[in-house]
Chain A
């Protein structure tokens, strides 16, 4: 496969969005794998050429980030969060169940080329644990059974909708949005899922609001950098700020 002229024009377009074009490298690599199914040697060469970098510099970046894939991906990327909270809430069981069901290990693709399975790190949806993703769309509150049903549907080509997002397209189409191009699906899905609304619903039921101005004033607000550092709760910030305030030796 070779990159189309359209894709190359889009790579240039991404580079032009930034004050310094090298900033576009991450989006450009997303676009490369959207077009090619993985970060290919040709894609790396093209990015290097457009950004005036060596291929080694581009490869160094491409191999650092976990979302970039050097092997051809399945049609769908299925992620199972196995970071601690999701793991405890059932993510470990879901992941092991999917490995058995699909007959693949971590970061492997099913024989029919439909699914690449990967255990992922915390995806910022802990209130919906255990969480899965398909092409980086959320599937909340999963069970081993729902996970198996989900992958079966994906393999059968049935339409699947994220619990808090849009209709599932494909990993490559998702990568194009991540790279920087809209796909028209923004208006699908709810404003928020049920867990996101937990506090708001309780507040509404009790008539609680933030609109209660009082005259307590701003006593206790730090006025100086030293006071601010004393208030900030990282020792690191403190020592560094103190270093900064010291005159040069």
Chain B
């Protein structure tokens, strides 16, 4: 029987100075690196494939398979790029991971780079997280000084160089091809696919782009074995992941568990909802995944079951909202975010988010017009699947799902401002203090 919570990536977060090389090594860090670098790259890819590890950045594509797409007969250099541009609203797992335990990621980078034949790797971290950038830069320097990065790592003849690259504030750069453009020194705008990055990625060379959590999971698979990893989780969703609980719960935070735990279990572990709260709606994997409600409390949080429930597991960013919260206000704010972050490359997203925000603003103000709900749905229908990248698709998720579950609140927006129906002060963290 597997334990309810299974700390692996989070296991050293309570340690003193876990970010140092010395303390990471004390926990067994880098202990299998040399063995890994002396095995065949193809064997490493097989191990990761067989473990069942799927991308932790949202889409859930099998990591080992992504690696196997790199054409090894291509004479061009290969690159590994870690997507550390964690920006999806609600998502807050990679930032604490890199702050606490940056060497876990770096060890994963070294093994993964070797597996795909890359001699150069990059960690593209969002720019707005100063202390995380400090910890990454220091860990990278320590790894070079210890001969864990650079030429002839640990005498194995393997070379891997790593650059810590900070972005400059653009949600779109979390989209992997926009990230590549950004890393090439361009505006971060998505590229047409195919060609896929595995064939023509960074500098038009074969490139693997993986999420922080995916790469940081690799050392544990090599150390503990693919069967161990595959023994955790559900049939098609293997392993452990970090679930990020936020909002109106008694104990927001990071919970590392095998895939398939339910929201009810997670909330109960932390002592339930905050006092006086009832669950109204939640996002399973950030704002780009359709909202779910209290009727979905027992859905196993794995890729398949959340999909069947009409949403997506995404980044396991569980934003919890209680009965004090206006869904119209929330949806408007998310829409303003997508409008602000739309890169402007394609018309459905650039213009669509602009119009969506205007309609939602008047509904939020209680000044909605006859037919506004239908107009929203029609606009969403014209964006979904017609935008250049997933940002446009994601922008429609909160709107269509909110209308599905809470249509009456949008109808109320024809005559009553959301702030009147749901006074914002009641939703705040300090609502209780204010009431005293």
- B279 nearest CB across to chain A (Å): 14
How many angstroms between the C-alpha atoms of A137 and B92 in the bound complex? 15
Tell me if A247 counts as interface (CB < 8 A to partner B).
no
Expressed in whole angstroms, the minimum distance between the Cβ of A31 and any Cβ of chain B is: 11
B421 contacts partner chain A, Cβ-Cβ < 8 Å: no
Q: Per-residue 0/1 for B294-336: is the Cβ within 8 Å of any A Cβ (1 yes, 0 no)?
A: 0000000001101100001100010101000100011001100
Cross-chain contact of A85 among B19, B247, B257, B385 (Cβ < 8 A)? B247
Which residues of chain B from 177 to 204 have any CB-CB distance to chain A below 8 Å in the complex?
A: 182-188, 193-194, 196, 203
A89 touching B247 in the complex, CB below 8 Å, given contacts A27-B166, A220-B52: yes
Q: Is B65 an interface residue (CB 8 A)?
A: yes
Of all chain A residues, the one with the shortest Cβ separation from B311 is: A233
Q: A209-B3, A210-B3 are in contact. Are A85 and B129 (CB under 8 A)?
A: no
A125 to B86, CA, bound (A): 10
Which of B13, B232, B270, B425 has the most chain A CB within a 10 Å cutoff? B13
Task: Check B141 for interface membership: any CB of A closer than 8 A.
Answer: yes
Known A-B contacts A19-B203, A83-B333, A192-B13; A127 and B254 likewise in contact (beta carbons under 8 Å):
yes
Known A-B contacts A23-B183, A191-B17, A218-B51; A127 and B245 likewise in contact (beta carbons under 8 Å): yes
Q: Are B4 and A124 in contact (CB under 8 A)?
A: no
A159 within 8 A of B: no
Given contacts A121-B171, A208-B4, A234-B390, contact A143 B247 (CB under 8 A): no
Q: Is B14's CB under 8 angstroms from A201's CB?
A: yes
> In the complex, what residues of B have CB within 8 A of residue A200's CB?
5, 7, 10-11, 13-14, 254, 256
Complex partner residue of A83 from B89, B220, B247, B306, CB under 8 angstroms: B89
B256 partner residues in chain A, CB cutoff 8 A: 199-200, 203
User: Per-position contact with B for A28-53: 1 when CB-CB < 8 Å, else 0?
Assistant: 01100000000000000000000100
Within 8 A of A (CB), among B379-407: 385, 389-390, 393
Asked if A196 and B130 make an inter-chain contact with CB atoms under 8 angstroms apart, the answer reads no
Selecting from A5-13, A60-68, A107-115, A149-157, the interface stretch reads A60-68
What residues on A are CB-neighbors of B226 within 8 Å? 218
Q: Does A90 contact B (CB under 8 A)?
A: yes
Partner of B270 from the list A60, A85, A90, A198 (CB cut-off 8 Å) is A198
B169 beta carbon closer than 8 Å to chain A: yes
A179: which B residues are within 8 A, CB to CB?
166
Chain B residues with CB under 8 Å of A186's CB are 19, 134-135, 137-138
- Shortest distance between the CB of A149 and any CB in chain B (Å): 14
Query: A residues within 8 A CB of B245?
Result: 127, 198
A104 within 8 A of B: no
Instruction: Please give me the residue from chain B that is nearest to A223 by CB atom.
Output: B49
If A220-B236, A234-B312 touch, whether A85 touches B393 (CB-CB below 8 Å) is no
Chain A residues with Cβ below 8 Å from B270 are: 198, 202
Output the least CB separation between A230 and chain B (Å): 9
Tell me, in angstroms, the Cα distance from A18 to B122 when the chains sit together.
Answer: 10
In whole angstroms, how far apart are the Cα atoms of A24 and B163 in the complex?
Answer: 11
**Complex partner residue of A121 from B12, B182, B337, B343, CB under 8 angstroms:** B337
**B116 / chain A contacts, CB cutoff of 8 Å:** none
Task: Report yes or no: B253 in contact with A143, Cβ–Cβ below 8 A.
Answer: no
Residue B59, interface by CB 8 Å = yes
A84 touches which of B89, B185, B193 (Cβ 8 Å): B89
Evaluate contact between B253 and A196: CB separation under 8 angstroms: yes
Q: Given the known A-B contacts A124-B86, A234-B390, are A209 and B7 also in contact in the complex, defined by CB atoms under 8 Å?
A: yes
A137 cross-chain contacts in B, Cβ below 8 A: 130-131
Shortest Cβ distance from residue B339 to the other chain A in the assembled complex, whole angstroms: 11
The distance in angstroms between the C-alpha atoms of A225 and B245, with both chains bound, is: 33
**In the bound complex, CA of A86 to CA of B261 (Å):** 25
Partner of B5, one of A17, A61, A87, A199: A199
Give Cα A60 to B181, complex, Å.
13
Which B53-101 residues have C-beta < 8 A from chain A? 54-55, 58-62, 65, 77, 86-92, 94-96, 99-101
A159 shortest CB reach to chain B, Å: 16
Q: Does B341 contact A (CB under 8 A)?
A: yes
Given contacts A93-B428, A126-B246, A232-B60, contact A67 B230 (CB under 8 A): no
Q: State whether the Cβ of A243 lies closer than 8 Å to any Cβ in chain B.
A: yes
Answer whether residue A130 sits at the interface, using C-beta atoms and an 8 A cutoff.
yes
Asked if A222 is at the interface of the complex by the 8 Å CB criterion, the answer is: yes
B208 within 8 A of A: no
CA distance A224 to B259 in the complex (A): 22
Evaluate whether A196 and B90 lie within 8 angstroms (CB atoms) in the complex, with A213-B231, A244-B194 already known.
no
Q: How far apart sit A129 and B130, CA to CA, in the bound complex (Å)?
A: 18
* CB of B27 within 8 Å of the partner chain: no
Q: Are A208 and B253 in contact (CB under 8 A)?
A: no
Q: What residues on A are CB-neighbors of B4 within 8 Å?
A: 203, 206, 208
Identify B87's interface contact among A124, A206, A220, A235, CB under 8 A. Answer: A124
- When the two chains form their complex, are residues A126 and B230 in contact, meaning their CB atoms are under 8 A apart? no
CB distance B194 to A233 under 8 Å?
Answer: no
Say yes or no: is A80 at the interface (Cβ < 8 Å to chain B): no
Q: How far apart are the CA atoms of A229 and B66 in the complex, in Å?
A: 11
Which A residues from 172 to 187 make CB contacts under 8 A with B?
174, 177-180, 182-183, 185-187
| Shortest beta-carbon distance from B200 to chain A in Å | 12
Distance between Cα atoms of A72 and B292 in the complex (Å): 44
Quick one: given A26-B185, A87-B333, are A121 and B168 in contact (CB under 8 Å)? no
Question: Do A213 and B227 form a contact, CB below 8 Å, given A192-B13, A198-B253, A221-B50?
Answer: yes
Specify which chain B residues have a CB less than 8 angstroms from the CB of A103 in the assembled complex.
none
Q: Are A178 and B166 in contact (CB under 8 A)?
A: yes
Q: Which residue of B lies closest to A213 (CB)?
A: B228
CA distance A191 to B17 in the complex (A): 6
Instruction: Please give 10 more A-B residue pairs, beta carbons under 8 A apart, in addition to A124-B129, A211-B224, A243-B194.
Output: A85-B246, A85-B319, A121-B89, A124-B87, A130-B429, A166-B131, A177-B134, A182-B141, A192-B18, A222-B236
Residues of chain A at the chain B interface (Cβ within 8 Å): 17-20, 22-27, 29-30, 51, 60-61, 64-68, 79, 82-85, 87-90, 92-93, 120-130, 133, 135-138, 141, 143-144, 162, 164-166, 174, 177-180, 182-183, 185-187, 189, 191-204, 206, 208-222, 225, 228-229, 231-237, 240, 243-244
> What are the 8 closest A-B residue pairs judged by CB atoms, nearest first?
A198-B253, A199-B255, A25-B185, A165-B131, A65-B168, A210-B6, A208-B3, A90-B428
